[in-house]
Structure 1
Amino acid sequence: MAAVTSNRWLRQVLTTSLEERTKEIQDLVFSSNPVLAVLRKNDMFKTYSGPDIRVPLTIDKLDAQWFTGYDKLGNQPKELINSAVFTPKNVAVGFSLTGTEILANEGRAKVIDLIDTYMENAEESMQNEMESAIHGDGTGAGGREMIGFGGALPIVPNVGVYGGIDRSQVPMWRTSYYKATTDFADIGNTYDVTTAPRMIRRIIANRSKGNRKADLIICDVNAYDVAQTSLTAIQRITSSDMAKLGFDALQLSTPAGPVSLLCANGVGTVMPENTIYGIDSKALEIHYHANRNMVPLFEGDGARPINQDAIVQYLVWNGEMVLKNPRYTWRFDTTPAAA
């Protein structure tokens, strides 16, 4: 395809800039959020190919039986293997520049690096969009958005379809949901500085087995503040593993081992109020297409109008977040009891 102009500063200027920064963009976006950072550290980013993301699952288990003598042995047919199927989602950040703008930003006239500024803005927009999607339910943008914790960890666990599997029909495909005001009668009915650690420890004790548990606890600022205040100064141990990733997290001792508590804070956070997510990081994956992993959408010079001196390009990502084993993952509503 012929270039709009022969000026070498206009040819492929956006595309080459994006290509040079692709690895840096991946690092910035996927390291800006503690969930994505942990998944990346644990090598839970997986590539896929084809029209959909298919995740093989064990959806049932065979029954054991004690017997003696002439007891009849059962052999009930069961289907153990199935697949959750997810539709990949696309997200893009686009920008354009005219030839006049680029020429005016060269040489002695340059005050700031115009293209570099656009790159940084695209990176920040992608960070914000991924952050929003992680906490969403996948219904945003007319169902085109990635399915986040709102869909993977629903308030009503036995309703809805996730990955093509009906939760009402498959109990093993359900996450757990707890409410401070109703589910801890022996501890109390309010999540406060006295009950908070006990409630969290109780949930983890009930939703763990061996070394599998929700090892990553994401709290909104209200729930986190109560949990932090509930610990004495000597108990406020920060997680060294999370510190290496650049995040400040409390380490809480539980019956299943230590877990990291993080606060989903920040300007424009979309974390639901009075909510805690308990995430089994070994069961959560990001599946992405290798050809659309924070890369330019258009090859060559990018998209160019046939009658304008301008170039447009997009930073694009394609994939889906997949909770492939809901057994140890839960959601906790810490809303205070009504006065």
Structure 2
Amino acid sequence: MAITSNVRLRQVLTTAMEDRSKDIQDLVFNSNPVLRILRENNRFKPYEGADIRVPLTIDTLDAQWFTGYDKLDNKPKEIINSGVWTPKNVAVGFSLTGTELLANEGRGKIIDLLDAYMENAENSMQNAMEEAIHGDGTGAGGREMIGLGGALPIVPNVGVYGGIDRGQVPIWRTSYFKATTDFPDIGATWDVTTAPRIVRRIIANRSKGSRRADLVICDVLSYDTIQTSLTAIQRITSASMAKMGFDALELSTPAGPVSLLCANGVGTVMPENTIYGIDSQALEVRYHPSRNMVPLFEGDGARPINQDAIVQYLVWNGEMVLKNPRYSWRLDTTPAAA
């Protein structure tokens, strides 16, 4: 539906000669940096086949100290298995009449109408994926991509993820903390005194060697508390995040520096009073090369049998995969009840 009924401001003339500017202003604001950071870190990877399968080391072989005639034990043990995810599909469709296409041809064309629709479809798809990235995969009747709500659940020992039952396999669980109850030696509130200490404590306890939650995504309330707690000289901007266009804080922790970002902006779907601690080496977006933000139909699109129009879809197929949950966590910063 057009936003105005004035014929001089409708779609066809806007994209043709009456519009003297070739720029289309993007009214969509992408407020979640996770997908951008994964792309920059080469964490968008293709897959082939019927499912997305990630090999996992699920156990370690037993070491044994011995001397002389001690019997050496060699118990059979399965140490390799796989996490398996079912790929999801998302599509954004549009249609154009032959009349619109004719009016957008020749010397009068300033903006390619079909290209403009494809760009808008890509933005719409990115918005849909941004919403899904905080979901648990139950949206659209279970057809939605499994986001951080499923990868970093509030109850870590319940549910199946990647085909593995978290209730039966403890090493497949992420961690969940409440700021008001899980750190009694630090305090029972989330404030400028406790906030940085709680984050540092979690990262120290959920790290090993160089592996840690190096990417910390905060809602605006939690981020404001951490930023306020730091003195001016401590508010160091993360150089790696700045190159991507994000204003992120770099927080020093016992396991090494981490980047803190605020998932703010118009239309943000980041849950309130929530912080995600993400091991960026373990998080990937797997996609099928044949359906990676491409048109569904060849050429300009499919033509209905009895109508002067075209129909086209932009389609994507894949899934977000947390292939090692050991170092990732979720923190609830909801204030204590009065």
TM-score with structure 2 setting the length: 0.87
How far apart, in 2, do the equivalents of 1:94 and 1:318 lie?
A: 15
Where does residue 117 of structure 2 map in the other structure? 118
Which blocks of at least 5 consecutive residues in structure 1 are unaligned?
Answer: 1-28
Which blocks of at least 5 consecutive residues in structure 2 are unaligned?
Answer: 1-27
Q: What is the 5 A alignment of 1:197-212? A: 197-212=196-211
How far apart, in 1, do the equivalents of 2:168 and 2:332 lie?
A: 25
Where does residue 171 of structure 2 map in the other structure? 172
**What SS does the aligned partner of 2:133 have?**
helix
Where does residue 259 of structure 2 map in the other structure? 260
**What SS does the aligned partner of 1:135 have?**
coil
Contact 1:87-1:320 within 8 A present in 2 as well: yes
Larger deviation, residues 278-287 vs 59-68:
59-68
How far apart, in 2, do the equivalents of 1:45 and 1:316 lie?
A: 16
- State the one-letter code of the partner of 2:74: N
Where does residue 132 of structure 1 map in the other structure? 131
Aligned residues: 310
Where does residue 242 of structure 1 map in the other structure? 241
Contact 1:32-1:127 within 8 A present in 2 as well: no
Query: Once the 2 structures are TM-superposed, how far is the Cα of residue 301 of structure 1 from its aligned partner?
Result: 4.0
- State the one-letter code of the partner of 2:305: I
How far apart, in 2, do the equivalents of 1:187 and 1:68 lie?
A: 47
How far apart, in 1, do the equivalents of 2:61 and 2:133 lie?
A: 35
Contact 2:122-2:293 within 8 A present in 1 as well: no
- State the one-letter code of the partner of 2:281: K
Residues 97-148 of structure 1 deviation map (CA, whole Å, 9 limit, x = unaligned): 0101111233566576533432332122112111111111111111111100
How far apart, in 2, do the equivalents of 1:168 and 1:75 lie?
A: 28
Larger deviation, residues 150-159 vs 77-86:
77-86
Is 1:303 aligned to 2:299, yes or no?
no
TM-score with structure 1 setting the length: 0.87
Residues 219-253 of structure 1 deviation map (CA, whole Å, 9 limit, x = unaligned): 01111110111111111111000111111100000
- State the one-letter code of the partner of 2:129: M
How far apart, in 1, do the equivalents of 2:271 and 2:31 lie?
A: 19
Q: What is the 5 A alignment of 1:15-164? A: 33-69=32-68, 71-107=70-106, 113-164=112-163
How far apart, in 2, do the equivalents of 1:211 and 1:111 lie?
A: 53
- State the one-letter code of the partner of 2:205: N
Query: Once the 2 structures are TM-superposed, how far is the Cα of residue 158 of structure 1 from its aligned partner?
Result: 0.6
Where does residue 330 of structure 1 map in the other structure? 329
Where does residue 11 of structure 1 map in the other structure? none
> Which structure features the higher share of helix residues?
1
How far apart, in 2, do the equivalents of 1:108 and 1:300 lie?
A: 22
How far apart, in 1, do the equivalents of 2:66 and 2:34 lie?
A: 47
**What SS does the aligned partner of 1:315 have?**
strand
Query: Once the 2 structures are TM-superposed, how far is the Cα of residue 295 of structure 1 from its aligned partner?
Result: 0.7
Query: Once the 2 structures are TM-superposed, how far is the Cα of residue 69 of structure 1 from its aligned partner?
Result: 4.6
Query: Once the 2 structures are TM-superposed, how far is the Cα of residue 73 of structure 1 from its aligned partner?
Result: 4.0
Query: Once the 2 structures are TM-superposed, how far is the Cα of residue 326 of structure 1 from its aligned partner?
Result: 0.4
How far apart, in 2, do the equivalents of 1:74 and 1:334 lie?
A: 48
Contact 1:45-1:286 within 8 A present in 2 as well: yes
Query: Once the 2 structures are TM-superposed, how far is the Cα of residue 298 of structure 1 from its aligned partner?
Result: 0.8
Is 1:271 aligned to 2:276, yes or no?
no
Q: What is the 5 A alignment of 1:310-329? A: 310-329=309-328
Contact 1:208-1:256 within 8 A present in 2 as well: yes
Query: Once the 2 structures are TM-superposed, how far is the Cα of residue 62 of structure 1 from its aligned partner?
Result: 1.7
